[in-house]
Amino acid sequence: MITKRVILSAGHGKGSPGSYGQGKTEYSQTVDIVNRTAWYLKRDGQLPYVVVPPELDVAHAIAWVNARYKRINDGIAVEVHKNDFSNSSANGLETWYGDPGTTSQVIATKLHKKLIEITKLRDRGIKTYKNAPQGGLVWISQTNTWALLPEMGFMDSDTMNNDLYAKALFEGILNMWGLKPRVVKPPVPLKPLKPPVDPCIKTTKELAKVTGLLYDANSNIMKLNAVILKKDLEIERMVLAMGDLQGDLRVCRNKKDVFAESLEKYRGEVVLEPPTGFWAKLRWLLGKGG
């Protein structure tokens, strides 16, 4: 039984960009497809996967895989390529596998079925590596594990829809183990959160109100203090004025006493001439005698 593990590799490497088409290199496109496929596998979570460092050329990529996986059933190694042909009208998708009549042909059929079903590209079939124009594909013949090599469209005529290719490759890989993609539920939209209410807001408002009242009260007290100070000054001036009046009154009283004494003395010293006429003299005499 094949261990549930897929080993993903991008065809070619930094030193071998592969074919060219539409201003792009085969290497840049296969790296993008592999990265997107790894993302789908990670999100799905059913199948363990590893990605061969993309900067490695084919010989070093095979050595990297073989150093980690020794037996044929340690997983399935899939190296992604894109096709190239002098005729720009060439199109479609094909998958290379190992020997006919073996597990390699079975898993290639399962992978290829999903690739065609999802991409809708022309079906160029599955092909044994022994019939490859290069005289054999070393990725398939020299890798320890089961190895496949899908050609994902042609560089010259391709739509470069790498996300579609990645989704097809992801589902094809699952199909090799009889798995289906898990239903990924869309995230439940979060209810809008009400901003937290500061428990001190009400107290702060009340404190501000009380502070305002205290400020107003202090202002009124200051005004009253100013009025009181003014009244105190007026009272002080009135007290001073009263003191002056009391002094003047004492002077007046002293002058009155002096005047009274002078009047008495004057009365005692002044001799009035007797009036003329009998009756007038008589009243004068009577008055003086009294």
Strand (E) or helix (H) holding 8:
strand 6-10
Mean pLDDT score across all residues of the chain: 86
Closest CA to 108 of 81, 87, 129, 138: 129
Which residues touch 16 (CB under 8 Å, ≥6 apart)?
27, 57, 58
Mean pLDDT of 186-200: 69
Are 80 and 9 a contacting pair, CB within 8 Å?
Answer: yes
Full-model pTM? 0.63
Residue 287 banded pLDDT, cuts 50, 70, 90: low
Q: Which amino acid would we find at residue 195?
A: P
Residue 4 banded pLDDT, cuts 50, 70, 90: very high
Between CA 117 and CA 94 the distance in angstroms is: 13
Mean pLDDT of 111-125: 96
**Residue range 12-48, pLDDT digits in tens:** 877 777 788 888 889 999 999 999 999 999 999 999 9
Residue of higher predicted confidence among 235 and 74: 74
Residue 188 banded pLDDT, cuts 50, 70, 90: confident
Residue 269 banded pLDDT, cuts 50, 70, 90: low
Question: Which percentage of the chain shows pLDDT scores above 90?
Answer: 48
The yes-or-no verdict on residue 192 having pLDDT over 80 is: no
Are 95 and 117 a contacting pair, CB within 8 Å?
Answer: no
Residue of higher predicted confidence among 271 and 269: 269
